[in-house]
Structure 1
Amino acid sequence: MSTRQGGELYAEQMASHGYVIVAASHPLTMLSAPGGPTTNDVIHQPADVSFLIDRTIALPQDDRGFSGGIDRDRIGVFGISLGALTATLVAYHPKLGDPRIKAALSIAGPGVMFGPSYFDFADVPFLMVAGTHDAMIQYAVNAKPIPDRIRKGGLVTLDGASHAGFSSLFSGPMRLLGNPDELGCTALSSNLDINPDENPFAALGGPDQGMLDATDMPLPCEIRFEEAISPGRQQWITALALHAFFESHFAREATSRTAHAEFLAKTLAAELDEVHYTPARRP
């Protein structure tokens, strides 16, 4: 239920390294949507991403706000929270996915509904970045199982990281909050309508699409708010992981791809106490 401004820091950082960034505010799932957000509309958001890819590739040279061209063989996708769910859908879903996606990254996104077979629908590396103190998308059921479900990629765990702290909107004065999720949950609780007796992701498919039954998943904001690390540090670490992940797959030189993969898998955790990296474990 956020907007493209939430990932502004990451977009600017990636653009500074030569990536063409297209950021979307999906009109029906953001908090400012008329009548409030409709989270069920997330099923239509992968098509929005495909539309944006189409339009960006088709831009005439004179209409581009950047020099050079777009490499159609190196298109990646990432998002935060509901945007992360959109990224995971457009990368892998057998009906909603876009085969042009070559790498996908989820920042604090839901993962409880994705079974191992879901990630077999596309040969795409996947990285999850998640925080242990996330009160909205609980780490234990959404992020921790991911390495056992994927064949390529891994999980970057940030000890003490909250959910809202991943968003650029929670910089500045918001860093003074003990856990930004206290404020985030206030906004979420007034706009989220979940029936605890129903699978909230049923519209995305069942076992044939690699989806698990999430009826019994923990509801957002049910756990207590633990003291979190500062949003600024959390975002800085995430930006490092984000860049390293995409460069490990998209850098032109093999030596650069190897160096960034090494940084992501080993150096980041060795130098920062909050960071743990778990590689994909599924054979």
Structure 2
Amino acid sequence: MSTYFKNISRGIKTTLKGMSLTLKHFWNARRSRKPYAMQDSNYFDLKTGIVTLQYPHQLLPVPDNGRYQLDCEIDDCIVCDKCAKICPVDCIDIEPIKSSEVISYTSDGSPVRLYAAKFDIDMAKCCFCGLCTTVCPTECLTMTTEYDFSVVDITQMNFEFSNLSADQADKKRKLYEQFVAEKEALKKSSQPSANNQEPVVELSNKPKPAFKPSFKPAVKPAETIISQDVKDEKTETATPKPAFKPSFKPVVKPAETTISQEVKEEKTETATPKPVFKPTIKITPKDQ
């Protein structure tokens, strides 16, 4: 009998305990928890309130240094094509059009010389590596905090940033082709006129100045400059040099060798000629 009443009392206590917890949660549900991110120091201090967020009306804060949707400020783009070349998945497609002059200037002062007829980024291919944002010289390509860009049709993931329509791009392309054609025609027309040009006759008899290099010579003292001016005046007033004629210098011999040579020559002049050799035959007594 005692055990029967003990079980009844235990059931009433547990029921009251459970209902107290339920009523407590209902009372705390009057307000919601603040949308703190997990990296926030106050995240684990939020012990009461509604946990579920009413998305998309309520959003969690997104870190600024995350990798999310790409965005391009086309007015600051110089169409250098570096982002398209470094992209590992080829999600950036750029079509440049040349211009004959500077189009505009970016916010950092860089000149823009190319039109962007096409600047498309396919976010369905993007791997969110961030390489395109690091190589951009004008920092016109950045990643925004927009991370929810899911669509039903995958073609809607292709974002177009070009500020030229198809007709405007065709006009710019034709203008540059016309500029190139006129430039080539001007080159061809200037070539025959240069060949048929009559030679200019110089009326003055002054000699042409000598060739002088364009580099800056070293500074010399005043004495050397004056001596150089004197030399230049002498060379201007000097008569033309005669033609070069080689002259052979005789070899100078010592005095003793020259005297002995003269003595030898005198001896050869005064010496009598030698008699002609005539053989003599001796007669023996037997022959007589």
* TM-score, length of structure 1 as denominator length: 0.21
Normalization by structure 2: what TM-score?
0.21
Larger radius of gyration: 2
